[in-house]
Amino acid sequence: MAKASPNRRAPRSDTKPKRPAAHRSPTFDYALDFRTVNFRDHPELYKVGRGEEGVLLVEPYKGEILPHCRFATPDVAQESSRAIYALFLGYKGRGDFVGMDMARKFLQMGYTRARRYANHKGGRKYGADGRVRPYKNDPVKAEAAAVFYTVWKQAEADPEYTRLKTEHKQKYG
């Protein structure tokens, strides 16, 4: 039997295995049953995590924000980032830190995904052989990424966001 390449990803299955303890975030709690938790009702269960951790797990925010996340062209990215930032401001108006953080994460994800597509045709980093595909810069996707980057950093620098983030971490860890 041939040995699998270490660069090859395992085939997907219907059930996602738990991350090994050594690879889990020290802050984001992947042990929660995300299908049943409403984080608007239970913000105490939300952990900030690093970067985009949990961006596709935390409801009801995922359902509210995901439909707006598009980055095919700079114009689409502009419309998308404006819509997500408007949600960010709405959450801010309600003092909803979890919503603000999720909107910030979606802006960050818009940037990172657009960069992935700018760097690799079709967004595929690995070829069929398991090796990283050659770098290619798509200027349209790079411009779309720049749009998201600007709005992401604007949200991240918001003084109220920073204050609420500090409070949330002090209160809930």
Instruction: Give the C-alpha separation, 149 to 156, whole Å.
Output: 10
> Helices (DSSP H) in the chain: which residue ranges?
61-65, 74-93, 97-119, 139-156, 159-172
Domain ranges of the chain: 22-172
Contact 66, 56 (CB under 8 A): yes
pLDDT in tens, 9-39: 444 444 544 544 444 445 667 777 888 999 9
CA angle 58–59–61, rounded 5-degree value: 90
pLDDT in the model for residue 166:
95
Q: How many helices (H) and strands (E) does the chain have?
A: 5, 0
